[in-house]
Structure formats: structure tokens, C-alpha cells
Chain A
């Protein structure tokens, strides 16, 4: 009868094998009941194997260790395994969970095993709050804005990072995407772009124009109540219509 049941999650097969063999030496009574490449199947694994503890790599494609730990909650103990402890050490030192650094150090792993053995009897701690603060620090806010423009060029689809775009301008049926290196046409209308682009960087300055403020060289007053934008990286100037000139009023 094994003392505890464990699951190892790491996207690198050799590292799973390594942890398994190290654990076999440091904790012969531990049974590794399952190995995972990422955290995606966590529910099924919990259900099927009823493990007491998880060794979770923090960086895994698909579902990383932090997300997986969140899903596990108090249903099992969690030990994080990580190659580089950017933020981890400080957080884990508070003792809620343990962590192991790769490459493994025999002594450190033995200490982890000891700690786990002591805690196995007790209920796993709720990691919610620690997880949340960690997740927030490890995974910076997911980009909610459009970051790439896909523009067809003949039979190819060109991928343009939005930072490179000087401005968007509607041109009857299409929208012109102008960069320093040239321009392409996309079907997405200005109206939709406006909703998806980062409003801090992309300003509508005209019914038909969105400009990337990072590329503005100067703004000067033009005819009537309009203004004119000169850009870095393009000879074209953009008209700011009356409704938008307030964006450029001096502070």
C-alpha cells in the first residue's frame, strides 16, 4: 500500500521522467499514478486517479500550472516545479505550498518530500488568494485589443503588428492599412477596428481615419476648424475633422 498518490505535470517528457525517478529515490512509498503534458485534463485526472498531490510545472502550453492549481483548489496538495523562480520563491516561502527548482537538487527535493509527508494528513490549504495574486503577476493581463492585422496580398496573408500601422483609412469598400513600408487593404471597416484597437494608441481623427498616435510627427491647424497631422514614416498628411480637433487642443 502506497503512502500517497501523485500526478506529475510537465510538458517536457524527459523532465517528467527525471522527476519520477528522483521521487522514486527520495520517497519510495510514493506512487506516481499519472503523468500529464499540461493541465487540460485536470478534472478527469482528479476523478479517475484521486491523487493526494500534484507536481505542476508552471510553464506549460495549453494550461499552465497556476491555472491547474486553481482548478484543483483544496482537492489535493500542490507542489510547483519551475526552472526559474521569477516570482515564485518569495510567494512559496510563505509556506502555503512548496516548490521545486529544475534542475533538481537532491537535498531540496528531500526537504520537499519531508514537508509533504508532514502535511499529507491535513486538508490541503485553500490557495485561491495566493493563486490569484500569483496568476496576476505571472500572466500579465491578457491582451484584449487587436494586436495583429491580417491583410491579403495576392494569395498570401500578410501579418502586420498593429504597432507598425501608421493609420487606417476607409476607402469605399475597403480599409487602407498604411505602414512605413507600404499599404494593404482589409475588409474590416473603420467602425469595427475602432472597437477592437487599443484606444490609448489608436485615435479616430476623422469619420474615415484612425491614426496611431505613436507615429504622429506634428499636428497643425488647417483650413476652417480642421487640423492636419504629419506622420513619421509617411509623406501623407491626415485631416482631423472638426469633431475630433479637441483631441489635440493644448492642455
Chain B
């Protein structure tokens, strides 16, 4: 019994009252046709109503893929009307056989009325359920939208927060400090790279839109600094056609990939590593790629936080029309690439 208790789910006091009210009203509406008293008819109506109600509730809770739920419920009301009328007869002490002979017309009328009122009531319930479902769907969509908005906001916030790691800054300055004493020319070169990097990286210095060229320059400044700092351990190359530099490109994504390539790629493996930046355009899509010959991805080591941040931001900016992919580089290392739709080559006119 307990196992089937869920079949009666939805059989609330409210539903019982609702059915009782309908029965009372229905009897009131048709009592003038009959010779019976109001009370007598009400007994019949309640038998029909409650039987239909119970069957309707069960029909609504039986899950089967074959018959639509609404059809089951309608069927339940018809069956309920028939059974309810018979039940009413029994309640009033009439014999079953009598109901199918001399009282047949009365029985048929009451069944018909049961079915009629029942169907109207069921239609009302089904419509209300449907609108509740629609409402739920709308509010789900709404909450999904809120979630996305929140993600975008968070992503933006993260972007706004200091992009310049103190470690990076102070280590670089320590290098400059040393070079000032030993190799002033190299010191001023490194300071220049640092200034260029800071200009691009400090949020208040950054404008809302940027192009690929500016992002590449920032990445280059970052890589120059690291080439000095890491000595012979790191090399880099940049292969970006001049024609693509004016292309719009979201800010701070390329630098994240380059930072990953240094921090998680080249730095952990102690031998020399090569980092290559490439950009290419084909079929209206701009693909920017950062490859390294470093340690590669260690399956149990983290590092996806910056990446999911990029993914969220790409999704916010381009929907499903942009992507970030990571692939293994041969023989070792990682290739990270961002692909965004490139507007038709109008922007080149300059």
C-alpha cells in the first residue's frame, strides 16, 4: 500500500472541497429537470464526483510512456462517472439489475451529466496545471538567465581585479635592480617591457574594447620579461600576420594563455621550453593559438580556473560561436587556442 501511496499524490483537501463545490453547483443547476430532491441528487453527484476524482488523481500519477497523461485523466473521469453512478445506486439501496432496466434512463442521464461536468472540471484542472508548468518553465529560464548574468558579472569582476601578480612584479623589479648595476642597457629594455605590460594589464588603464595587436603586444612584453628572468630556459616566437592586428579580440584572454604556458608549461620542466604565438583567419573565423613545449598537462594537477573564466567570458560575448580548446602538443606541451568569429574583412580598410 505504502509503495503505491504516491498514486494518490495531489489528492488534497483543496481538491476535495473543489469537487464538492462543483457537485453542489452542478446539482443546483440541473435539479429542475429531475423529479428527485436536491439531496437525493447531491448524493448521486458526490458519488460520481468523488469516484471520478480518485480515479483522476491515480491516472495523473501513473507514469506510462504509451498513453498521454491527459487522455488517461479524461478516461478516468468517464470511468468514474459510470462507477460513481452505480455506487450511488448501491448507496441508495437499489439493486444493480434494476439500474439497468426500469431505471436505465435515469442512470444514463446521471452518468452523462457526470461525464459532462467531469470533463469540464478536468479540462479546467489540466489547463491550470499546464499554466503552472509554463510558469515553472519561465521561472527556470529566468533563473538560468540570472545565473548567466551572474557568471558574466563575476567574470568581469575577476577581470577587473589586479591582473598583476605581486610575485611577477617584485621579481621583475629585482631583476631590473640588478641589471641597473650590471647592464644598464638591458635594464632599460626590461623596464620598457614592464611598463608596456603594466599599461595593458592594469584595469584602470584598459579600455573596454581592444584588438588582437594590443593583446599580442602585451603578451610579447610579458614574454620578453620572462625571457630575461628565466635565462636560457625559455624562448618564444610570435607569428601573427600584420593584417590581423586590427581585428577585435576580447581583452586579457591571450595573456592568460601565455601565463599558463609559462607557469604550468615551461617553468615546471627545468629544461628549455619554447612558446609560440600564432594567429590565422579562415572561413570568417579568427584563431589565436599559444603553444608550448613544456611539461604538458598532468591529469591530476589543477590549473583550469583561468580557463573556465575564459570560457565563461567567450560564452557571454559570442554565445556558442566561440571556443577555447586545449590540445596536447607533440612531443610534449600544450596547444591552447581561442577561436572567435571574425567580422567580414571590412575592418581592414585603413
Known interface pairs A12-B229, A83-B166; A150-B299 also in contact (CB < 8 Å): yes
Contacts of B158 in A (CB 8 A): none
Given A14-B229, A150-B299: A164 and B182 interface contact (C-beta under 8 Å): no
What residues of A have a CB within 8 angstroms of the CB of B300 in the complex?
Answer: 143-148, 196
B268 sits at the interface (CB 8 A)? yes
Does A98 lie at the interface of the complex (its beta carbon under 8 Å from any beta carbon of B)? no
Closest Cβ of chain B to A184, distance in Å, is 11
* Beta-carbon contact of A12 and B302 below 8 Å: no
Residues of A1-55 at the interface with B, using a CB-CB cut-off of 8 Å, are: 11-15, 17-18, 21, 37-38
Question: Least Cβ distance of B263 to chain A in Å?
Answer: 9
Confirm or deny: B345 has a beta carbon within 8 angstroms of a beta carbon on chain A: no
Residues of chain B contacted by A13 (CB below 8 angstroms) = 231
Residues of chain B with a CB closer than 8 A to A161's CB: 304, 307-308, 326
Report B59-94 CB contacts with A as 1/0, cut-off 8 Å: 000011100000000000000000000000000000
Q: Which residues in chain A, 124-168, are within 8 Å of chain B measured between CB atoms?
A: 142-150, 153, 156-164
B173–A103 CB distance below 8 A:
yes
Give the contacting residue for B230; candidates A12, A153, A156, A217; CB below 8 A: A12
With contact pairs A62-B270, A83-B167 given, residues A181 and B323 touching in the complex (Cβ less than 8 Å): yes
Q: What residue of chain B has the Cβ atom nearest to residue A161's Cβ?
A: B304
In this complex, what residue of A is CB-closest to B170?
A83
Complex interface residues of chain A between 63 and 119 (CB less than 8 A to chain B): 83-84, 101-104
Asked if B175 is an interface residue, CB under 8 A from chain A, the answer is yes
Contacts of B165 in A (CB 8 A): 84
Q: State how many angstroms separate the Cβ of A25 from the closest Cβ of chain B.
A: 11
CA distance A15 to B304 in the complex (A): 30
Interchain nearest-CB distance for A224 vs B (Å) = 8
Tell me if A199 counts as interface (CB < 8 A to partner B). no
B167 touches A12 (CB 8 A): no
A-side contacts of B270, CB under 8 Å: 37-38, 61-62
| Nearest A-chain residue to B179, judged by Cβ | A14
Given the complex of chains A and B, what is the CA–CA distance between A144 and B323 in angstroms?
A: 28
By the criterion CB–CB under 8 Å, are A232 and B144 in contact? Answer: yes
| A143-B302, A223-B63 known; A160+B170 contact, CB < 8 A | no
B303 part of interface (Cβ distance < 8 Å): yes
Q: Are A147 and B327 in contact (CB under 8 A)?
A: no
Q: Is the CB–CB distance between A163 and B167 below 8 Å?
A: no
Chain B nearest CB from A65 CB (Å) reads 13
Q: Which B residue's beta carbon lies closest to that of A12? A: B229
Question: B14 in the interface, Cβ–Cβ < 8 Å?
Answer: no
State how many angstroms separate the Cβ of B129 from the closest Cβ of chain A.
15
Q: Is the CB of A83 within 8 A of B301?
A: no
Q: Tell me, in angstroms, the Cα distance from A162 to B328 when the chains sit together.
A: 16
- Report Cα–Cα, A193/B32, bound state, in Å: 73
Query: What residues of chain A lie closer than 8 Å to B128, measured between beta carbons?
Result: none
Q: B267–A61 contact, CB under 8 A?
A: yes
Chain A residue numbers with a CB within 8 Å of B166 are 83-84
Q: Which residues of B contact A61 (CB under 8 A)?
A: 267-270
A18 adjacent to B299 (CB under 8 Å): no
Choose among B169, B175, B326, B327 the residue that contacts A15 (Cβ–Cβ < 8 A): B175
Query: Is B178's CB under 8 angstroms from A17's CB?
Result: yes
> Which B residues lie within 8 Å of A84 (CB)?
165-167, 170
Chain A residues with CB below 8 A from B131, complex form: none
A17: which B residues are within 8 A, CB to CB? 178, 182
Asked if B297 and A15 make an inter-chain contact with CB atoms under 8 angstroms apart, the answer reads: no
Residues of B within 8 A of A147 (CB): 299-304
The answer to whether A158 touches B308, judged by C-beta atoms less than 8 angstroms apart, is no
Q: How far is the CB of A146 from chain B (nearest CB, A)?
A: 6
Q: Mark B31-65, 1 if CB is under 8 A from A, else 0.
A: 00000000000000000000000000000000111
B181 at the A interface (CB under 8 A): yes
Chain B residue nearest to A18 in the complex (CB): B178
Q: Output the nearest chain B residue to A86 by Cβ-Cβ distance.
A: B166
Question: How far does the alpha carbon of A221 sit from the alpha carbon of B328 in the complex, in Å?
Answer: 41
Q: A122 an interface residue at 8 Å Cβ cutoff?
A: no
B188 close to chain A: CB less than 8 A:
no
Contact A156 B179 (CB under 8 A): no
A156 lies within 8 A of B328 (CB): yes
CA distance A163 to B304 in the complex (A): 8
Residue among A14, A160, A221, A232 having the largest count of chain B Cβ atoms under 10 Å: A14
CA distance A113 to B267 in the complex (A): 31
Chain B stretch 138-194: residues in CB contact (< 8 A) with chain A: 140, 144, 147, 165-167, 169-171, 173-179, 181-182
Task: Indicate with 1 or 0, residue by residue over B275-314, a CB within 8 angstroms of chain A CB atoms.
Answer: 0000000000000000000000111111110011001000
24 A-B residue contacts at CB 8 Å?
A11-B230, A11-B267, A12-B175, A14-B174, A14-B175, A14-B179, A14-B228, A15-B174, A15-B175, A62-B268, A83-B166, A83-B174, A103-B173, A103-B176, A104-B174, A143-B300, A145-B300, A148-B297, A148-B301, A150-B297, A158-B327, A159-B328, A162-B304, A221-B63
Interface of B toward A, CB cutoff 8 Å: 63-65, 140, 144, 147, 165-167, 169-171, 173-179, 181-182, 228-231, 267-270, 297-304, 307-308, 311, 320, 323, 325-328, 334
Known contacts A12-B229, A143-B302, A147-B300, then 19 further A-B pairs from the complex at CB < 8 Å, ordered by chain A residue? A14-B228, A15-B174, A21-B182, A61-B267, A84-B166, A102-B171, A103-B170, A103-B177, A104-B174, A143-B300, A143-B301, A150-B299, A153-B327, A159-B327, A159-B334, A160-B326, A161-B308, A162-B304, A164-B308
